[in-house]
Amino acid sequence: MKTFYPPQHIEHQPPVEFWNGRAEPISEVAVRVDSILHAMQLAGMENPLPVTQFDLAETRSALEQIHSRAYLDYLDSAYDHWVADGGDPQGVMPFISPGSRKHGLPERLNGLARPGAFAFDMGAVIVPGTAAAALASAQAARLAALEICAGAASAYALCRPPGHHAGTDFYGGYCYLNNAALAVETLRQAKGGALFPRVALLDVDVHHGNGSQDIFYQRADVFTISLHMDPAFEYPFFAGYQSERGSLAGEGYNSNYPLPLGTGDADYLTALTLALDEIAYFGPAACVVSLGVDTYAGDPIGKFKLSSACYTQIGKRIAGLGLPTVFVQEGGYNLEYVGTLVTDVLIGFEVL
Ligand code: OKP
Ligand code: ZN
């Protein structure tokens, strides 16, 4: 399958994140991409295509279908405003939140305060290269989706930074632009909506895809479904519960599978099978997979216990849907194994 990746990701290397009140080194590091590229090469997969020149205006207008303009403008200018108003040049991070939301946003918001209007945590630091990297990462997902529109059975976007925690107008958890949502929306827009009238977005990252859920929460044409660590115990805490089923027209078109910390292969695959049954019942014409491999037992931040043998199975079962599928990279932080776990899923899918 064709693979797209954004070489610009290398300019995005935030120095630190805050977690539990402590400054910690960031798990979402640039060498994750090298691990994946290396494993793909070892597995003899098609050469990944770098996303270099693309039409920024076109990508921006596609992104406006899933993010608010105010948020996209913020992301573009956050670093400059932050530094101009006295913020630490190491990177942009919220240190104040609006508290009461009764007054809307002020007309002119100080560059130091702006992050508080959009960031939901202190884990997605903005450095000078972040906006361009996020844009190229989103473009990789868009190109993978366009492959499917052109008739391919599958495509893979090796996205960095990841995207599933980015919502309509919020960001966090290493995510700035929602790459998978952009892939979904690209499929939906193809041929005036006629090519893929319904699309499923399956999120197998160990963390709940709160951004993806937010973007499609009121829509019936996109079924969002996520398997993840029970948010009562783990990040992102505020969303990912079973009771979140979608609202208005989207009621019934969001489905969450919070699973206990320590979940292993058997219980995971059982839940995945239920999720795939729900997707089949929805009857989509295509599927986008938010592919996180931080479910692995050896992952430094995920708290599931999947064995490395499970990933081929995951790929095979997803292939069982028989749908054109876009894989979009999310998490996976074991630098030694992230590459093979990802290629196991992709190869499992291809050689069903
Ligand atoms: C992003 B993705 C531990 C930091 C944990 C929050 C998790 C962000 C996950 N040192 N940071 O993989 O869903
Ligand atoms: Zn994750």
Contact assessment for residue 142 and residue 181, using Cβ atoms and an 8 Å cutoff: no
Helix, strand, coil content of the chain in percent (nearest 5): 40, 15, 45
Pocket test for ligand 1, best of 17, 24, 26, 27 (most atoms within 8 A of CB): 27
Q: How far is the CA of 176 from the centre of ligand 1 (A)?
A: 13
pLDDT digits (tens, 9 = 90+) for 236-254: 999 999 999 999 999 999 9
What average pLDDT does range 102-128 have in this prediction? 95
Residue 352 has pLDDT above 70, yes or no: no
pLDDT tens digits along 310-326: 999 999 999 999 999 99
Cis previous bond, 161, omega within 30: yes
Between CA 257 and CA 274 the distance in angstroms is: 9
Q: Whose CA is nearest to atom 7 of ligand 1?
A: 173
Q: Which residue has the tokens 């996109």?
A: 222
Do 175 and 212 form a contact (C-beta atoms < 8 A)?
Answer: no
Give tens-digit pLDDT for 127-142: 999 999 999 999 999 9
Compute, in angstroms, the gap from residue 205 CA to the centroid of ligand 2. 5
Instruction: Give the C-alpha separation, 255 to 318, whole Å.
Output: 17
Residue ranges of E strands in 240-316: 254-259, 286-291
**Residue to substitute in 18, 19, 93 for testing ligand 1 pocket (most ligand atoms within 8 angstroms of CB):** 19
Quick one: pLDDT band at residue 341, thresholds 50, 70, 90? very high
Tell the residue nearest (CA) to atom 9 of ligand 1: 173
Q: Which of 165, 207, 208, 228 is catalytic?
A: 165
Question: Could you give the CA distance from residue 211 to residue 205 in angstroms, rounded to a whole number?
Answer: 13
Q: Which ligand is nearest to the CA of 174?
A: 1
| pLDDT, mean of residues 284-312 | 98
Summarize the confidence of residues 178-200 as an average pLDDT: 98
pLDDT in tens, 80-97: 999 999 999 999 999 999
Whether the pLDDT of residue 99 is over 70: the answer is: yes
Number of alpha carbons in the 13 Å side-chain half-sphere of residue 331: 24
Q: What distance in Å separates the CA atoms of residue 238 and residue 240, rounded to the nearest whole number?
A: 7
Q: Quick check: is 165 catalytic? A: yes
Q: If you average pLDDT over residues 266-293, what whole number do you get?
A: 98
State which ligand 1 atom lies nearest to the alpha carbon of 121. 6
- C-alpha to C-alpha distance for 135 and 60, rounded to whole angstroms: 8
Give 199-234 pLDDT, tens digit per residue: 999 999 999 999 999 999 999 999 999 999 999 999
**pLDDT of 75 strictly over 90:** yes
User: Which residue's CA is the nearest one to ligand 1's atom 8?
Assistant: 173
pLDDT of residue 105: 86
To test ligand 1's pocket by mutation, which of 301, 303, 304, 333 has the most ligand atoms within 8 angstroms of CB? 301
Cα of 299 to ligand 2 centre, how many Å? 10
Which pLDDT tens digit goes with each residue over 6-35?
999 999 999 999 999 999 999 999 999 999
User: What mean pLDDT value characterizes the chain?
Assistant: 97
Task: Determine the pLDDT at residue 100.
Answer: 86
Residue 23, H or E segment: strand 22-24
If pLDDT is split at 50, 70 and 90, which confidence band does 104 have?
Answer: confident
In this structure, the residue with its CA closest to atom 4 of ligand 1 is 19
The residue whose CA has the least distance to atom 12 of ligand 1 is 331
Q: Which residue has the tokens 């590091």?
A: 29
Higher per-residue confidence, 81 vs 101: 81
- Do the Cβ atoms of 257 and 205 come closer than 8 Å? no
Query: Which residues does 112 contact at the CB level (< 8 Å), separation at least 6?
Result: 82, 85, 86, 87, 95, 96
Residue 39's pLDDT is 98
